[in-house]
Amino acid sequence: MSLRFQVLVRLKEGVLDVQGKAVENGLKDKKYGAIKNVRVGKVIELEVDGLGKEEARTQVEDVCKLLLANPVIERYEVKEVA
Amino acid sequence: MKVGVVVFPGTNCDQDIENVYGRLLKAETRRIWHRETKISDVDLVVLPGGFSYGDYLRTGALARLSPVMDGIKNFAAEGGKVIGICNGFQILCESGLLPGVLLENVGRRFLSRFVHLTVESTKSFFTAGMSKGDMLTCPIAHFQGNYFADLSTISELEANNQVILRYCSGSGKRIDSDRDVNVNGSINSIAGITNTTGNVVGLMPHPERAVEMLTGFIGSDTGLSPFKCSVGA
């Protein structure tokens, strides 16, 4: 049986998000000037095979630290999904 | 002196590095494929620029997991000399051999142009034969070159003289807020840094592309100086 996880990676507060700024400026051009502070993150979905819930989550957290997020600029959240 | 030039899938500045060390500085060079684990035969390792692994996930993030990086970490821990240029700098930051990270340029554009740099510290082997205030002029070519680290890391870098190169104007002036001088928005105009022991350096500009009068900036080959320092020439 495999467990499915969703990892949400986003830039920490205070880190300049140029992609978010580009989106914000694009919206401004389309008369959505009221929309502010756009921040773009990443959603990474993955499955873990043949491990118990706790062990699986630990491995996903490890992978977040190893590769999926850079702790200098990003934070992450791990969510188990059905 | 034997120089190892690391090649990841997507590395594209390896030949320029070989040109500098092999043809101009007469050192022995060899390419190190990223699957290699034994690199003890070389005296200096260079991680050249390029787009390793297509910059997927984050620049340098996947290259950092290549087998060769374990060898490079041990090599560096034993005092071996390591240079990362452009994507190589990004890889060194991702792998924790250097602090900080390279964010997207503040102006949201890929920048391909010449920049002026001042030598800020002679603490590293890459700048050891030069003097503080010396100027280099060489190209940059990057989208993620905006050096970032938290404030305490930055103050440590500054206090320990680990900032080796800064972007400056044509007359050698540092102007952090001027996008024509500090072109990518780096904190404190940082263009290159070294580790606490001075044996690992990373920089975004490409001095290896300004080592001959023909291709340098208006007849300038100042890019050659740090490479000379790195081999003690």
For B103-158, what is each residue's pLDDT tens digit?
999 999 999 999 999 999 999 999 999 999 999 999 999 999 999 999 999 999 99
Q: In what order do the strands lie in the sheet with A74-81?
A: A42-49, A2-11, A74-81
Complex ipTM? 0.80
pLDDT band at A62 (very low <50, low <70, confident <90, very high): very high
Residues of B in contact with A19 (CB under 8 A): 104
* B116 flagged as catalytic: no
* Three-state secondary structure string covering B193-205: EECCCCCEEEECC
Contact B199, B125 (CB under 8 A): yes
B10: domain CATH number? 3.40.50.880
Contact B222, B99 (CB under 8 A): no
Structural domain boundaries enclosing B36:
2-230
* B86 flagged as catalytic: yes
pLDDT band at A75 (very low <50, low <70, confident <90, very high): very high
- Number of domains forming the structure of chain B: 1
Residue of B108, B151, B186 to mutate, interface with A, max A Cβ within 10 Å: B108
For A35-56, what is each residue's pLDDT tens digit?
999 999 999 999 999 999 999 9
Structural domains of chain A sorted by starting position, each given as residue range(s) with its CATH number in brackets: 2-81 (3.30.1280.10)
- Concatenated DSSP letters of A3-63: EEEEEEEEEPTTS--HHHHHHHHHHHHTT-TT-------EEEEEEEES--HHHHHHHHHHH
The partner residue sitting opposite B106, judged by closest CB among A16, A70, A73, is: A16
The partner residue sitting opposite B103, judged by closest CB among A16, A66, A68, is: A16
Check residue B133 and give left, alpha or beta (phi > 0: left; psi -120 to 50: alpha): left
| Cβ–Cβ below 8 Å for A18 and B148 | no
Residues of A in contact with B58 (CB under 8 A): 70
Residue of A72, A74, A75 to mutate, interface with B, max B Cβ within 10 Å: A72
Nearest Cα residue to B45 out of B104, B85, B96, B102 = B85
CB-count exposure of residue B211 (10 Å: 0-12, 13-18, 19+): buried
